[in-house]
Structure 1
Amino acid sequence: MSQEYKKPNVSQSPESSLVDGLTEANDLIVLEEQLSADEIVLNADIIHTEKLIEESRSLDRQPPFVIDIFGILKKAAINLVLPFINGMMLGFGEILAHEIGFRYNWSGARVEPPRRLEQKRRETSSKYL
């Protein structure tokens, strides 16, 4: 542990101080094993208590949130831009699929524009009639 135990000024024999030292070391080991990390109070925690209290008071003084129009637009930009890009890609994908379907006469391409109907009529009819 980071805290040291100070012995009282009592005159003792060297043998009893050795036993007391072993007992004290054993007691400290047992206490360290029994206490969890949350239960141990360090000197650094005690020294910085006033600093922690002042920090919490300063957090209480701050407003809970600040309304920033630029920040809101910046955060919402992804929600404004992505649907537009998604719609463009879906639209062009549908146009491409219809063009491929018309070109190869697939059964899924049922809607034919007037230009395609006129083109089919020209291809099937004779050039000389």
Structure 2
Amino acid sequence: MNSDLMEQSLREIAVEGIDLDQEFDVTRLQEENDLIVLTNQISSDELISNEDILNTEKLIAEGRAESEYTTYNFDLWSVLKRGAINLVLPFINGMMLGFGEILAHEIGFKYNWQGARVVPERRIEQKNSSSRYL
């Protein structure tokens, strides 16, 4: 859009009798001088071109368009597929804990480790008091 306006103004200048090639040389020199001044005054991080601004605006517009048309397919099968791991892992975890505890007690029984046999307190009291039930 800006380039169209610039071309139109250059054509008007050409009609008035000014040479277009000379005008382009002047604008190119001005641009080079402006760039030299800008690079000396502003660091490369602060220098923003029009292309960057247009590209950013384009990305923002695309993001808004995508957010407006986001659809989600919801059915029972997709929920089961995504939740299957959450149904299986607790079962595996429980099995591993259970077998691990059984294995630990069996190893304790084999080597006569103290505390390997788990006995309720009531049975210990009955054993010590020589109860009629034991």
The separation in 2 between residues aligned to 1:111 and 1:76, in whole angstroms, is 37
41 and 78 in structure 1: CA distance in 2 versus 1, 3 angstrom threshold: same
How far does residue 57 in structure 1 lie from its aligned partner after superposition?
4.7
Q: Which runs of 5+ in 2 are unaligned?
A: 120-134
More deviation in 88-97 or 22-31?
22-31
The answer on 1:41 being equivalent to 2:45 is no
Render the CA deviation track for 1:10-32: whole Å, top value 9, x for unaligned.
249x7x98666433312145457
How many residues are paired up? 102
TM-score for both structures, normalised by structure 2 = 0.51
Moved over 2 A (4+): 5-12, 16-24, 28-42, 52-63
Higher relative contact order (CA 8 A, sep 6+): 1
How far does residue 77 in structure 1 lie from its aligned partner after superposition?
1.1
Richer in helix (by share): 2
The answer on 1:68 being equivalent to 2:80 is no
RMSD after superposition:
4.3
Q: Which runs of 5+ in 1 are unaligned?
A: 113-129
